Chains A and B, each alone.
Chain A
Amino acid sequence: MWQLGGKNFSSRLVLGTSRYRSPENLREAITRSGIEIVTVSLRRQAAGDGNKFWDLLREMNIAFLPNTANCRSVQEAITTAHMAREVFKTNWIKLETVGDEYTLAPDPFALVEAARILIADGFEVFPYTTEDLVVAERLVAAGCKILMPWAAPIGSGQGIANAQALKTLRARFPETTLIIDAGIGAPSHAAQVMEMGYDAVMLNTAIALADDAPKMAQAFARAIEAGRMGYEAGLMPRRDFAEPSTPTLGTPFWKEEKRA
């Protein structure tokens, strides 16, 4: 069990809901991997009255984390967040502010500003950010209790582009919930960030575009669980065997001295 935004969950995999072959395929992925939280996009899907795609997900009794995908400005993001609160009856908002259309890199300036306004308005803000330490600090200073740094650009499947920076974030924000958002391509990537002590992983493309999405969802769920268990059990320290520091069994000691 772990806590997120005041609720208890057992799954540490948060799933995006776009680009599946069908809603049924998505539902199978959710069921098979025990997913309890999904993100949904409002910007393009909210028009008209009601949305049966969302209704199909509502039947599954899972938590919704609405997002502000495709928003560029602070105002757009805020308007979308308000709409999300209305539609999904939740104060959770995955705050995304697009800074670059091609990579979908977040605009950190708009992000911090929108986060401050939304937190003052009672939202639980999940900001989608880069691995940058200072942006993370500003977001935490603005009141964010959760951060969602990317591992690599969204949809790229590149895995961890800057492992050192992600380790630094974990070390500097021990009290903040850290969820890796974007860039994960393979279950091993997810296991790796969980071993670093990240609280959860958010994914979409790697599962949605797999040949067998439900099976891939299950693969990720297991990798995330394994990574988390490894972190909790305590990983052994890395050892450098390039230069022997103690005499090797069977090697005469005078040879060791010579080398030193």
Chain B
Amino acid sequence: MTISIGIVGAGIIGRLLALKACARGWRVTLFERGAEDGATACSSVSPAMLAPYCELDVAEKTVSDLGALSLRLWPEILCEFDLPVYFQQAGSLVVAPPQNSDELEHFARTVKSRASEDVFQNIKSDELKVFEPDLDSRFQSGLFFPSEGQIDSRGALAALLMAARERGADCRFGQEVRAIRPNEIDCGNATSKFDMVFDCRGYGAAKDIKNLRAVRGEIIRLHAPDVHLNRPVRLLHPRWPLYVVPRPDNHYIIGATTIESEDASPIALRSMLEMLSAAFTISAGFSEARILETLTGLRPAFPDNEPRIMHQPGLIRVNGVYRHGFLLAPVLTDYACQLAEKSQPSAPMPYLVREAA
């Protein structure tokens, strides 16, 4: 059945939803107040690690389970792209300096207590050298999560937009949406009508969604010709656990802070010091790295830091993906489409909330 849908918000959720809706043969109109490059979306700040198990350190099991499903869906989505987008599934590594080796044990225990299967291997120092030759020799052990991966967030946002447009989506940028109602979107002076409206605005929806808050995240992008890491590395530290994510051509993303604040202003000096120290600890080769840019984003989160799909006739809201937008987007957008089709998704969805009409 061909239906017409309006999507508000062109972050990872809105763009992937647009593509999936086009694939279903729906007529899609996408509204976004920012520009095509997605710079105003917190998705573009994301290092986009696809790490459902490592995230168990901070996330609940349900997020991890959904993430594991999504991880399997990403390769299919990549097939839809005309642009090459960097995607890697070479696992991720978790390390701690010897004086903090207890942190590694604690991390392993936390993951084990929440993951349903054996999802990591213990790596000793000689193996560690094979895995990551450039890792500082102080690291004597680590945890390897073989199934985890990462994707280039900006590349994916661009490719999703291109693919959605090619399949007929009408994508309008620089459009300030004033109000969202069931079946209606007010944009500029006009009201557009749709069979279904999808609200994918992230924190931009705060005034319409109770209890949605922002969590500030800061990242640094580096170019480090002297460092060759093969996969994302997480450094555990008693106070600030951080990760270094390698991208093609010796580019790296260091992230991300997690600060309970709605302040989207540029990176704090303290955060920068902490993140750069983490990078330097992982490999001294980072000392001559060039700092390309620093970015700040506001992640949308509910009090339990778990996502929600809220639906009522004519309106579906997908929000609260917190640190896990790229990890959860494939599954959440599938469920959202299924809801629009037959008002009940085929898969169990623990976060489904029926909104009062």
Contact = CB atoms under 8 A, between A and B. Distances in A.
B181 interface: no
B341 interface: no
A44 B271 CA distance: 10
Interface residues of B, number: 28
A24 B303 contact: yes
Given A211-B110, A211-B113, A21 B262 contact: no
Contacts of A55: 213
Contacts of A4: none
A157 to B, nearest CB: 9
B179 to A, nearest CB: 22
A70 B270 CA distance: 10
A126 B177 CA distance: 48
A45 interface: yes
Contacts of A155: 238-239
A70 B301 CA distance: 25
Nearest to A70: B270
Interface stretch (A46-54, A131-139, A192-200): A46-54
Contacts of B190: none
A contact residues, range: 20 to 34
Contacts of A56: 211, 213, 303
Given A21-B305, A211-B113, A47 B213 contact: no
Contact of B268 (A27, A44, A49, A211): A44
Give the one of A46, A47, A49, A56 with max B CB within 10 A. A47
Nearest to B262: A48
Contacts of B24: none
A44 B259 contact: yes
Interface in A44-81: 44-56, 70
A49 B262 contact: yes
Contact of B261 (A23, A24, A44, A70): A44
A25 B304 contact: yes
A97 to B, nearest CB: 16
A171 interface: no
Contact of A51 (B260, B302, B303): B260
B58 interface: yes
Contacts of A50: 262
Contacts of A45: 259-261
B265 A21 contact: no
Contacts of B59: 21
A55 B113 CA distance: 31
Nearest to A52: B213
Nearest to B260: A53
A211 B109 contact: yes
B263 A48 contact: yes
B281 to A, nearest CB: 13
Nearest to A25: B304
B132 interface: no
A163 interface: no
Nearest to B106: A209
Contacts of A21: 58-60, 305
A47 B110 contact: no
Nearest to A21: B58
Interface string A131-156: 00000000000000000000000010
Contacts of B305: 21-24
B143 interface: no
B95 interface: no
A206 B270 CA distance: 25
Nearest to A26: B303
Contact of B263 (A22, A24, A47, A53): A47
Closest 6 CB pairs of A and B: A52-B213, A48-B263, A22-B305, A53-B260, A47-B263, A24-B304
20 contacts: A22-B301, A22-B304, A23-B304, A25-B304, A44-B270, A45-B259, A47-B261, A48-B261, A48-B262, A48-B264, A51-B260, A51-B262, A52-B211, A52-B214, A53-B260, A56-B213, A70-B270, A155-B238, A209-B106, A211-B109
Interface of A: 21-25, 27, 44-56, 70, 155, 209, 211
Given A45-B260, A52-B211, 19 more contacts: A22-B60, A22-B303, A22-B305, A23-B213, A23-B305, A24-B302, A24-B303, A44-B261, A45-B259, A47-B265, A48-B261, A48-B264, A48-B265, A50-B262, A51-B262, A53-B261, A155-B238, A209-B106, A211-B113
